[in-house]
């Protein structure tokens, strides 16, 4: 293990629970020698990755991190920020992965990846056009937004005229509540016969949902547990996606798949 990794790994020790750490705190958490830890801490402080409180001598995350994050925000496009995560997710799931952003009342594609070689693929030409209630992404978004947005979406004329069945507000609200509880939304042959999907929300710096990430797959490739498996995989990357885009996951959001949450929501 390189000294670089060891030193930078120290930064990950700083959290909401432990925003300030003293030398011995870090020493205990890492199990490394005190002298080593001290040298790493001071090295990180010298370049501004940490700051030391003059009074308590405790360390906290430093200004260089904020400075570099600003540089990244200015020089790296939103697409680049999520590309590697989405690509990896697509490879691991073996399915089509989408990340979309709300514009008006549509979820428009930011980036998508389909890095597998199954001969059967999901077509997504019309992605983003269906009303929010019809897609897993849309439901994931609505479930983690203020209810005001749901009312507005219900009142949107385009939503109403789309398709034959006008959604029942109570049924929609009930489903969104389940989605919020278990942490992800899903669809099975609802929008298009043969296409299923699971989706989670992506949050911005104010911890508000502003985008979604979804996995779409042919229902034919999905056995009984496929949806749950893909949901678990998707949720395990949710925090990475949100944080790569500079966002923060609200503390009350279910971020890991568990059988308990699954049952509790149904």
24 touches which of DNA, a copy of itself, none (CB within 5 to 8 A by kind)? Answer: DNA
Rounded Cα gap, residues 181 and 265, in angstroms: 6
Does 41 engage in binding with DNA (CB under 7 A)? yes
Size of the site for DNA (CB under 7 A): 23
CA distance 44 to 103: 41
Contact 74, 38 (CB under 8 A): no
Between 218 and 246, whose beta carbon lies closer to a copy of itself?
246
Of 9, 13, 33, 264, the one binding DNA (CB under 7 A) is 33
- Residue from 54, 126, 155, 165 binding a copy of itself (CB under 8 A): 54
Of 8-16, 23-31, 156-164, 256-264, the segment contacting DNA by CB under 7 A is 23-31
Residue 33's alpha-carbon distances to 9, 44, 50, 106, in angstroms, are 15, 17, 19, 54
Residue 88 engages a copy of itself in binding (rule: CB under 8 A): no
- Look at strands 96-103 and 185-188 and give their pairing: unpaired
For position 38 contacting DNA by CB under 7 A, the verdict is yes
**Closer residue to a copy of itself (CB): 111 or 217:** 111
CB of 45 to a copy of itself, least distance (A): 10
Q: Which of 11, 23, 207, 233 binds DNA (CB under 7 A)?
A: 23
- Interface map 3-32 toward a copy of itself (x if CB under 8 A): xxx-xxx-x--xxx--x-------------
Give the three-class secondary structure for 237: helix
Residue 73 contacts a copy of itself per CB under 8 A: yes
User: What single string gives the DSSP state of each residue in 131-200?
Assistant: -GGGSHHHHHHHHTS-HHHHHHHHH-HHHHHSSSPPPPHHHHHHHHHHHHHHS-EEEESSSSTTEEEEEE
Site residues (CB under 8 A) for a copy of itself? Answer: 2-5, 7-9, 11, 14-16, 19, 39-40, 43-44, 46-47, 49, 51, 53-54, 60-63, 65-76, 80-81, 84-85, 87, 205, 240, 243-248
Site residues (CB under 7 A) for DNA? Answer: 1-4, 6, 22-25, 27, 32-36, 38-42, 52, 57-58
């Amino acid at each position: 293990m390189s000294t670089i990794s060891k030193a930078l790994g120290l930064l990950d020790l700083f959290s909401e629970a432990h925003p300030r750490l003293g030398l011995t705190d870090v020493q205990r958490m890492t199990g490394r020698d005190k002298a080593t830890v001290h040298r790493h801490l001071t090295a990180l402080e010298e370049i501004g990755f940490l700051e030391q409180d003059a009074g308590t001598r405790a360390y906290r995350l430093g200004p260089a991190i904020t400075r570099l994050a600003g540089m990244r925000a200015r020089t790296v496009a939103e697409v680049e920020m999520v590309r590697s995560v989405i690509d990896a997710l697509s490879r691991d799931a073996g399915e089509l992965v989408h990340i979309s952003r709300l514009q008006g009342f549509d979820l428009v594609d930011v980036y998508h990846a389909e890095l597998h070689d199954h001969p059967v693929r999901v077509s997504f030409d019309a992605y983003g056009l269906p009303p929010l209630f019809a897609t897993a992404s849309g439901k994931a978004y609505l479930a983690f937004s203020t209810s005001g947005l749901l009312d507005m979406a219900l009142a949107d004329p385009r939503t109403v005229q789309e398709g034959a069945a006008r959604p029942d507000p109570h049924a929609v609200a009930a489903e969104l509540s389940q989605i919020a509880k278990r942490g992800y939304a899903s669809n099975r042959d609802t929008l298009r016969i043969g296409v299923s999907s699971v989706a989670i929300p992506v949050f911005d710096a104010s911890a508000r949902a502003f985008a979604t990430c979804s996995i779409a797959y042919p229902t034919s490739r999905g056995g009984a547990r496929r949806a749950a498996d893909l949901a678990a995989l998707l949720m395990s990357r949710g925090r990475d996606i949100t944080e790569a885009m500079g966002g923060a996951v609200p503390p009350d959001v279910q971020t890991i798949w568990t059988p308990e949450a699954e049952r509790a929501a149904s």
